[in-house]
Amino acid sequence: MTTRRSDDYRLVYSSEQGRICPGCGQPAGKCACRTSKAPPVGDGIVRVGRETKGRGGKSVITISGLPLDEEKLKTLAGELKRRCGTGGTVKDGVIEIQGEHRDLLVGELEKRGYRVKKAGG
């Protein structure tokens, strides 16, 4: 019979405090993980991919791996959308640009000093 230690489980909800952050163990309102302004850590390579899944056959270019915080990511997304003359958004740290603009975006990101790789289809 295998026994599990009590620290193998993470508390995610408490009837006294509500939602609990699984990362730091604090109540969601006082979470220390999300309040840190440090950019996400990656391998230093920005990946530019193309997706069509779940979009009615229309393609969307995704840009992931940017070492920027949320505010700078939104600013960069706005500049890239203007450069392409199209719409887009930022979701979960990934910039999505509508249309087939992958080569243009790769060139633009390389001009800005990022190491860029084409990923996916």
Q: Which domain holds residue 109?
A: 45-119
22 lies in the same domain as 77: no
53 lies in the same domain as 91: yes
Average pLDDT over residues 113-118: 90
Which pLDDT band holds residue 77 (cuts at 50, 70, 90)?
very high
88 lies in the same domain as 115: yes
30 lies in the same domain as 72: no
pLDDT tens per residue, range 30-55: 776 655 555 555 677 899 999 888 77
- Can you list the pairs that 35-41 forms with residues at least 24 positions away whose Cβ atoms lie under 8 Å? 37/69, 38/69, 39/67, 39/68, 39/69, 40/67, 40/93, 41/67
Please name the helix (run of DSSP H) or strand (run of DSSP E) that holds residue 70, with its range, or none.
Answer: helix 70-84
Given a cut of 50, whether residue 18 has pLDDT beyond it is: yes
Separation of alpha carbons 74 and 10, rounded Å: 33
102 lies in the same domain as 50: yes
99 lies in the same domain as 49: yes
Q: Considering the entire predicted model, what is its pTM? A: 0.65
Domain total of the chain? 2
End-to-end alpha carbon distance in the chain? 48
113 lies in the same domain as 80: yes
